[in-house]
Structure 1
Amino acid sequence: MTSSRFHTAPDGTRFRDLNGNGVMDPYEDPRRSVDERTEDLLGRLSLEEKCGLMFQTVIEVGDDGELLEAPGKISKSPTTTVVVGKNMTHFNVHAIRTARQAAEWNNRLQALAATTPHGIPVTISTDPRHAFVENTGVAFSAGPFSQWPEGLGLAALDDVETVREFAEVARREYRAVGIRAALHPQIDLATEPRWGRQAQTLGQDAARVAEFTAAYLRGFQGETLGPDSVACTTKHFPGGGPQQGGEDAHFPYGREQVYPGGMFDYHLEPFREAIRCGTAGMMPYYGMPIGLELDGQPIEPVGFGYNKQIVTGLLREQLGYDGVVVTDWELVNDNHVGDQVLPARAWGVEHLSATERMEKILDAGADQFGGEECVDMLLDLVRSGRVSEERIDASARRLLRVKFALGLFDDPFVDVDEAERIVGNADFRAQGERAQARSLTVLVNEERDGAPVLPLGAVGAVYVEGFRPDEVAELGRVVADPADAGLALVRVGAPFDPRDDLFLEAWFHQGSLKFAPGLVYRLQQIAASCPLVLVVNLDRPAILTPFVGHAAAIVADYGSSARAVLDALTGRVAPRGRLPIEIPRSMDAVRASREDVPSDTGDPVFPVHFGLDLEGVEEAPEPTRGYAHR
């Protein structure tokens, strides 16, 4: 798709006449540098246009790729209202049904943006959407995109090249549908076993996470940000893992972030690498630091997005970061969705008005308000003299630089047919499913009748839970009673305490890591009837102690299809995973551990980096195509 505003200059240069004046102005000239174009456009923009740049909120796609001109399930305003009426140009896209739908919607959205006074193109961002977790506040399952293990699964593979390969595939798929910004990687260190956001992390080992971060950013952004890049917002600065008691800072009861082990610098290590690699954006977490000092000075106990000592003092001045800082979602206003509400994450500044919160965020050094569209509030702050226009210019400049570097001003449109060919193609799906299978971690593999239980072969009769009968047909006929089976294959998720009072809460797996006693008893009884192969999906650790000595095999997965699990269990693909987090022996050990210290639960049942190889199963060469269509 092309815009009617594409023109050719007398010297043959193709450009978009974004302001419709028939002249190739400096900001429209693709031959000029990013800085030249940015400064030219910045000088032309109204205050309203500059303020609009400083907001990023949720946007939703019409069922058939049309623009949604009404409030959506989560989005608050019609598309034209935010793009034309509020001059907003950054949006976080939610559900995507097909590649064609997303590509057509992108082109319609960019055409709408081209009607604004200076034709500033839209930057479409997304949370992770290449794995299995479906949580509106965190990530989306893959849908039409290729499907890979969660971040913990990539960490379990302990292979920098696989991380880069994933990022390169994801970049190509995002790029094909017009998504040009990733609200990831999430490089928080998973040092607190109970924390509910570990699935998208890259583990607890700071040095290794730093290496993964570099590979991730290379795959998405390249060596420098350019027209083929997807700009990454690395999160959550300065490390969101050490939440007090493992509760998440999305919620009022989880607002405190603590460092009882004095490991603040350890959690900073991956972020130093992200800065070195040129991450386009950085997102502070909601957490409110308690008892933290920086350079001998107490840190104000307010959420990191409000914290000038952290954003300006540490990130900008000490670490030298001059990229975009976007806050996490809804620091200014409460979020009302249907009959549920989630209070503004104004931790430590709950007493401030919405306007005062916005002013404090700006003073802290952030450039963009995540999850907000209250542009008039910012305009009022400037017009009243409480915020200077120079302060607005500083943030608008950073935001425009990224748009120019990505080439959005030159051509933000995508080829719809090409999007269908690229997104979720057979080769990408094969790569993702192979990574799923390889990431499985074998924790227990006992001998029965003189041979290890794994790899599995046909057993005649099999009892199953967590799989459909057709998914395990190769093992034998499915029976209803474990006593009639030669093998029991059971797949369960890691335990959590269900909660559903606040908006988003039901999607977060929080609380105890202990399995319910009834499930423990029942699985032990199954194991007494026939050999039990237990597969546990670890979106965070689980107390596996009750099953050791009972299950013939215990295997961890981190987001894998049933077929990928069977491929690993049967040895068609060698499972090579090593635990990226430790598996505690008991909840008492978890409660006694320090939130910021890795491997601190004392005598874990399985330590970090533990994993068994299957005897006689070698790493097969990776197929070039067809794996996903056996």
Structure 2
Amino acid sequence: MINPLKLFYSSAIAFTVMSACSDNTPFRDLNKNGKLDVYEDSHESVDNRIDDLLKQMTLEEKAGMLFINGTRINSDGSLDDRPGEGMFAFAPIAPKLMTEKYMTHFNVWAVPEKRALATWYNNLQKFAEEKTRLGIPVTIASDPRNAFSNNIFSMTANDFSQWPEQLGFAAIGDEKLMEQHADIARQEYIAVGIREALHPMADLATEPRWPRISGTFGEDAQLSAKLIKAYIKGFQGTTLDSNGVACMTKHFSGGGPQKEGLDPHFEFQKGQVYPGKNFNYHLIPFEAAFEAKTAAIMPYYGVPVDQTNENVAFSFNKDIITGLLRDKYKFDGVVCTDWGLITDAKMGDIVWPARAWGVEKLSEEERVLKVLNAGVDQFGGENCPEHVIKLVKDGKLTEARIDQSVRRLLRQKFELGLFEDPYIDVENAMAVVGKDEFKKAGEDAQRRAITLLKNSAAKGKNILPLEAGKLKIYIKNINPTVAAQYGEVVSKPEQADIAIVRLNTPWYPVETKNFFARGFHHGDLDFKGTQKDSILMLLKTVPTIVDIYLDRPAVIPEISEKAKGLVADFGASDNAVLDVLFGKAKPEGKLPFELPSSMDAVRNQKEDVPYDSKDPLYKFGHGLHY
């Protein structure tokens, strides 16, 4: 699933929603009128309570639970069906989906500030309790919100503490820090009502051109596995309960080895390939997730070419979902598709095809049936339960099969304590989200993840760390106000003692009318043409320190050769980078993937094999210190 845009909302006036279950009674269940009520025997098993609820649910209510989709949020936290704001105007409001489609799961994209978000969440739970027949509480999910990043999959929000991306934690390699981050993010999520994390990513970055590498832990399966376990423990604890956030680990069975790096969000993808016969290597991080008892799994969009009995995408693939995930790994948690496998998305004159790769000719109804028959429980990014209802009424699908998935989804709600008390304290959200100690921990991690690749020596001394307050510095892509804290900022390179430039890993948009696709970081990894020439000219003019943000493995041999100092970051502020360059903090990172020496080396490596490019510029695990 993706979030290609970010909306900025104004501050809002919030009010406290009082819970109808303010007596702190431990459980609620169905009374004779079909409404959820106080459950007198708190020792009754969850299974029995689920049985009771299933007996009360209609087919329509069961079908609605099998769908999760995004919803727009008003900037004041209200539930009014007013015109949408910005590019998310197309998104429906949750109450409409709850009453018309009987849905009880939603994911949030762009969100307002924390008070409005928390208020909206309480309003939504109050609506579920008072305006729906059974009063089943809502589960809210989200992609990552705590990464300092412009990546479209990282839904940054200034209210939340800001940490490096997953790659940054891989660069640090500290399991305790990983668990600390997840625990802090858990506290912030719970404070605003987010109870399901659509992460972590357990995919491996074995194809360096893949646009989603920044969300991974790099290309090493063992490193990824140990961090995945710590990540899930921080969010879920050792056992998922009312203090936890359910993790939906993705994308089974590993989405990294895309042919030529072309992402299967789009029709121009060329399949997921295994020229190195390395399919099992990509399972290692998921095995760690199973050990950590991940609550849910999301398969990816791609087709695992020639790895199963039919070349169809993962969520349609019974060999993958039932044969591998359910039978071999005995996974009985929720399995949810990635977003948008059933229906096409219409964006003005542009149609974004459903990611029904391998089954494009099937109807929407037939796709739904194939997904359910494969063993999946829930449809991400969709709200078409009418297909499920029709399949059952036509005798093509049994209600018992639907019950199997609904049972898993209800169990997760019970485990999270949503039936016990779904509400949050808005004032607590104001205190917890982005609290000073959380923000400091995130900023410290940004610094620790910075990776020193090159540190040239002159007159018997390395150029880094620089001496603060004594240098004239020329800057590029850095805030001048921030830079002025470290030295005298000058306007021309010729006036400077040192230049400091921040770069991003290159990418080149795929030619397509789909503006979402154009925002993905596809294509070559090297600088070209005038952009490259201008960088090299600066490096020739003045001694230069280069910081490059690595959301993919950049190909930078000439820049590396000419730069006096070279560091990499994985999501870091200007202050974080400059603190490291001027010795106020030390670089601790090690590369979580190799940096290839040329694009030819990239093209000749195997998509499914780690660290296999010829003569890499910097090897996996490289990182200097001072």
TM tier, shorter chain? over 0.9
Alignment partner, residue 419 of structure 1: 429
Cα displacement string for residues 146-181 of structure 1 (whole angstroms, at most 9, x for unaligned residues): 000011011100111111111000000000000000
Identity %: 47
Write the mapping of 1:378-527 to structure 2, written as runs, cut at 5 A: 378-457=388-467, 458-499=469-510, 501-527=513-539
Could you tell me how far 1:112 is from its partner in structure 2? 0.8
Q: Contact 2:447/2:586 (CA < 8 Å) preserved in 1?
A: yes
Please, which moves more after superposition, 449-458 or 421-430? 449-458
Aligned pair partner of 1:283 in 274, 294, 298 = 298
Residues 483 and 2 (structure 1), Cα distance of their counterparts in 2 relative to 1, 3 Å cut: closer
What letter is aligned with 1:311? I
TM-score by length of 1: 0.93
AA aligned to 1:316 is: R
Report Cα offsets for 1:296-351 as digits up to 9, x if no partner: xx431111010000000100001110100000001000112344432100101111
Q: How many residues align?
A: 605
User: Equivalents in 1 of 2:523, 2:494: separation in Å?
Assistant: 34
Change (3 A) 1:20 1:516: farther
1:569 CA displacement: 1.2
- Map residues 267-282 of structure 1 onto 2, 5 A cutoff: 267-282=282-297
Question: Where does 1:26-45 land on structure 2 (aligned, <5 Å)?
Answer: 30-45=42-57
2:568 to 556, 566, 585: 556
Letter in 2 for 1:516: K
1 CA distance for matches of 2:40 and 2:406?
Answer: 17
2:340 equivalent in structure 1: 330
Inter-partner Cα distance in structure 2 for 1:239 and 1:587: 24
Q: Kindly state the Cα deviation for residue 17 of structure 1 after the two structures are TM-superposed.
A: 6.4
CA 1:511/1:327 → structure 2, altered by over 3 Å: closer, same or farther?
Answer: same
Structure-1 residue corresponding to 2:10: none
Q: Distance in 2 between matches of 1:180 and 1:28?
A: 25
In structure 1, what is the Cα distance between the partners aligned to 2:68 and 2:36? 29
CA RMSD of aligned residues (A): 1.9
Match of 1:112 among 105, 127, 135: 127
The one-letter code matched in structure 1 to 2:318 is: K
C-alpha deviation, 1:255, in angstroms = 4.6
Does the Cα contact within 8 Å between 1:157 and 1:576 map onto a contact in 2? Answer: yes
Q: Secondary structure of 2:73's match?
A: coil
d(CA) in 2 for partners of 1:166 and 1:435?
9
Distance change in 2, residues 1:15/1:305 (3 Å): closer
Q: What is the aligned partner in structure 2 of residue 623 from structure 1?
A: none
Query: Partner of 1:409: helix, strand, or coil?
Result: coil
Cα deviation, residue 114, structure 1? 0.7
Residue of structure 2 aligned with 1:547, choices 548, 554, 559: 559
1:561 deviates by: 0.7
Q: 1:22 to 1:518 in 2, by over 3 A?
A: closer
Q: State the Cα deviation string for residues 249-290 of structure 1 (Å, max 9, x = none).
A: 101111500011011110001111111211110000000111
**Contact 1:289 1:299 survives alignment (8 Å):** no
Q: How far does the alpha carbon of each residue in 1:207-233 deviate from its partner, in whole angstroms, 9 at most, with x for none?
A: 111111110010000001100000000
**Residue 607 of structure 1, CA deviation:** 0.4
State TM-score, norm by structure 2. Answer: 0.93
Alignment partner for residue 372 of structure 1, among 367, 379, 382? 382
In 1, the alpha carbon distance for the partners of 2:206 and 2:147 equals 22
Query: Could you say what secondary structure the match of 1:258 adopts?
Result: coil
Contact kept? 2:25, 2:38, Cα under 8 Å: no
Secondary structure at the residue paired with 2:134? coil
Partner residue of 2:147?
A: 131
Determine if contact 2:27/2:39 at 8 Å carries over to the other structure.
no
Contact 2:486 2:582 in 1 (8 A): no
Name the stretch that deviates more: 514-523 or 67-76.
67-76
C-alpha distance in 2, partners of 1:441/1:596? 25
Does the Cα contact within 8 Å between 2:219 and 2:593 map onto a contact in 1?
yes
Match of 2:212 in 1: 197
Instruction: Verify the 8 A CA contact 1:34 1:401 in the aligned structure 2.
Output: yes
Matches for 1:96-175 after TM superposition, within 5 Å: 96-115=111-130, 116-134=132-150, 138-175=153-190
Once the two structures are superposed, what CA deviation does each residue of 1:91-110 show, in whole Å capped at 9, x if it has no partner? 00111231111110000000
Q: CA deviation at 1:479?
A: 1.8
> Is residue 55–residue 375 contact of structure 1 (8 Å, CA) maintained in 2?
yes
The alpha-carbon deviation at position 2 of structure 1 amounts to 5.8
Deviation of residue 132 (structure 1)?
Answer: 3.0
CA distance in 2, matches of 1:122, 1:130: 23
Instruction: Flag the 1:42–1:99 CA change in 2: closer, same or farther, 3 A.
Output: same
Give 3-state SS (helix, strand or coil) of 1:252's partner: coil
Q: Give the whole-Å Cα distance in 2 for the aligned partners of 1:315 and 1:17.
A: 32
1:314 matches 2:324: yes
Name 1:208's counterpart in structure 2.
Answer: 223
SS in 2 for 1:444: strand
Distance 1:446 1:36, change over 3 A: same
AA partner of residue 323 (structure 1): G
What displacement does 1:30 show? 4.1
Question: What SS class does the counterpart of residue 304 from structure 2 fall into?
Answer: strand
